[in-house]
Amino acid sequence: MKLKFYFLFFILSFSSFGQVKMDSLKAPIMTSKFALALHGGAGNMVKRKFTPSEEEAYKKVMDEALVLGYSMLEKGATATDVVEAVIKVMEDSPLFNAGKGAVFSNEGMNEMDAAIMNGKDLKCGAVTNLRKVKNPISLAKEIMNNSQFVFLNGEGAEKFAKLQGIEIVDTSYFFVQKRWNEMLKIRDSSKTQLDNEGSSGAIDDLDSINKFGTVGCVVLDGYGNIAAGTSTGGITNKKFNRIGDSPLIGSGTYANNESCAVSCTGHGEDFIRLVAAHQVHSYMFFKHKNVEKAAEIVIKKELTGIGGRGGLIAIDRQGRITFQFNTTGMFRGSIDTKGEKFVAIY
């Protein structure tokens, strides 16, 4: 009788253990620590001279994106899902140089780039030279999750988007009169952003047009994983299907659970030369710098050292957030692990 009892107890215990183990695999344990940060581009904000209503409009969109992202984190969303959702809010606004508000190339077209990376497994997806995808960040995420490739370009990327059910729109959707006027101002000027292939020159009086608007987001989710994403329309009046740092994994976008998640904004060529986003990771992983110090070195020392301008946002697995920029301002915001919200421009 005792043997039957012990045998039954063993079977029930083993069954319960197995059930608990299976349940834990289905539902990862969520902690109470999560946070996110975003940016809407860095640049010479003083010359832009925003009106109070313009400043409020930018802050309103950033606030909306932050609140959405944080509410998703509270409900157990993953870092990559939150990155996508936050960036989509900014892509859908004509205020930022991404999605709806993407700038125009010299040919009068919108050529959009985006990338996303998961710090948990280093999976990533990137796209460039999109003209009809409503939300480039969503296509980048689809590539990350459901493609054997990492980086897709132009018509091929849009063909993949259609196959995967990503929303495609007519090119007229992206027409914003203000952006069109900005392109004409540069194109018709005696000073050009790109005089010929391979040469570039800064246009100081038009600095405010070209140096901000790219959007990005970094997230720590409740499962202890981090992710980063970036989306942009590139540089106003760009030629030759130019590609900046935003969609380049390691240059404008990077995430690794061993260190941090990073999204950059500014003059892309300089961030590419530095492999800036990965450089923040390197200072943390190899030099044991904290996220703030690592990001500060990359922006204040290395980027400034080569005459580059711009900034970045970064977050580590403890939810520590840093904003670093060497311009007069950067559209930025965050909600930290304590639930405290921050939104600023200058």
Q: How far apart, in whole angstroms, are the C-alpha atoms of residue 41 and residue 163?
A: 32
**Alpha-carbon distances of 63 from 71, 253, 342, rounded to whole Å:** 12, 22, 9
User: Given strand 310-316, what is the order of strands in its sheet?
Assistant: 253-255, 260-266, 310-316, 321-325
Intra-chain end-to-end CA distance of the chain, in Å: 78
Q: How far apart, in whole angstroms, are the C-alpha atoms of residue 15 and residue 21?
A: 10
214 is catalytic: yes
In the set 78, 80, 128, 214, the catalytic residue is 214
Q: How far apart, in whole angstroms, are the C-alpha atoms of residue 295 and residue 287?
A: 12
Question: Which token pair is 197?
Answer: 């292939």
| Parallel, antiparallel or unpaired: strands 124-130 and 253-255 | unpaired
E strands present in 14-64: 35-43
| Parallel, antiparallel or unpaired: strands 124-130 and 151-153 | parallel
> Which contiguous run of DSSP H or E holds residue 130?
strand 124-130
* CA angle at 312 for the pair 118 and 289, rounded to the nearest 5°: 80
Beta-carbon contacts of residue 55 (< 8 Å; ≥ 6 apart): 345
Q: How far apart, in whole angstroms, are the C-alpha atoms of residue 210 and residue 193?
A: 9
Q: What is the DSSP letter of 302?
A: I
Question: Which token pair is 6?
Answer: 């012990």
Question: Which token pair is 318?
Answer: 């403890």
Q: What is the DSSP letter of 28?
A: P
Give me the active site residues, please.
Answer: 214
